[in-house]
Every structure is written in structure tokens, then in C-alpha cells.
Amino acid sequence: MSHDEHAFHTTQWTQVLSTRGDSDIAREALSDLAERYYAPVVAFLKREGRGEDAARELAHGFFAWLLSRDTFAKLERDRGRFRSYLLGALKHYISHQREHAGLYDRCRIEENEYRRILFEWAWPHIARRCREKKRPYPLLGEEGQMLTNPLTT
């Protein structure tokens, strides 16, 4: 595939608008859009760190999802570029896939490591001072506030 096949080309809005409805013309226009944007979507997914097979599988699922609903019924030309809409829809689809897989329901790192990272991000200057003085990081409250001051205890 050439680099041009991976680019998000300018879309003819007449083609996007012709996808509306439940006709053979609308289904053909949807199919044409999916075919035109398949390679750019796969390339985008690969740039985000997915392997070739994972990117293709996710792109297939995304386009099947798009083709199964009246996705473009409310899409308006003056609200931006079609490729921007498509990437937003792709990110929305990925988020739903992660949610469906339960990836947002569990912590993916150990609790102590999570607390360390959170403290170093929220309180970088105090974290540095704690390391210099070889003191443990304090626990954080629900809103990120320090429950104790590690430099005065």
C-alpha cells in the first residue's frame, strides 16, 4: 500500500449525504465510504500502537458497526470535516469496546504503584523532597489532598 492509500482524503459531501435512508443507493454509498476509509483507519490504529491484525480486526468491527446503523443521518456539512467526524466516531467505538470488555472496571496496576504515580503527578515538588529526605509519600484523600504533611512529621 502506498502512503496515499493511508491518507484521509477529502470527502465529497454528496457521497456522505447519499448514505441517508434505506435504499440500495444509500447502502452502496456507505459501502464505498467504508472501502475508501478502511486503509486510513487501519493506519491510524497502527500509529496508536496496535499490530496489523488487531488494527484490521478493530477496523472491521468499526465499519460493521457504522454500516449497521443510520450513522450519518444527522451529519451536517457545515459542522466540520468528514474525516474528523469519522475519527471521533472511531474513538467513541474504541471506548465502547473497552468498556464492554470491562477494562474500565478494574485497576490495571498494583495499588501501591498507582498511589506512587498519583502522588508524584499531583505533588511533584513534595514528592522530590520526600525522596531527598528518604520519607514515604503520605496517603492522599479522595480529592487528592494530602492527609498528612510528610515533611513536618
pLDDT in tens, 17-34: 777 777 888 888 888 888
Contact predicate 116/137, CB 8 Å:
yes
Give the up-direction half-sphere exposure of residue 80: CA atoms within 13 A in the CB hemisphere.
Answer: 8
Q: Does the predicted model carry a pTM greater than 0.85?
A: no
Per-residue pLDDT for 57 more than 90?
Answer: yes
Are 53 and 15 within one domain? yes
Going by C-beta distance under 8 Å and a sequence separation of 6 or more, which residues neighbour residue 41? 59, 62, 63, 86, 90
The verdict on 22 and 95 lying in the same domain is yes
Among 80, 100, 120, residue at a domain's last position: 100
pLDDT digits (tens, 9 = 90+) for 72-86: 777 777 777 777 888
Between CA 44 and CA 38 the distance in angstroms is 10
- Phi and psi at 129, nearest 5°, equal -65, -40
Question: Percentage of the chain surpassing pLDDT 90?
Answer: 30
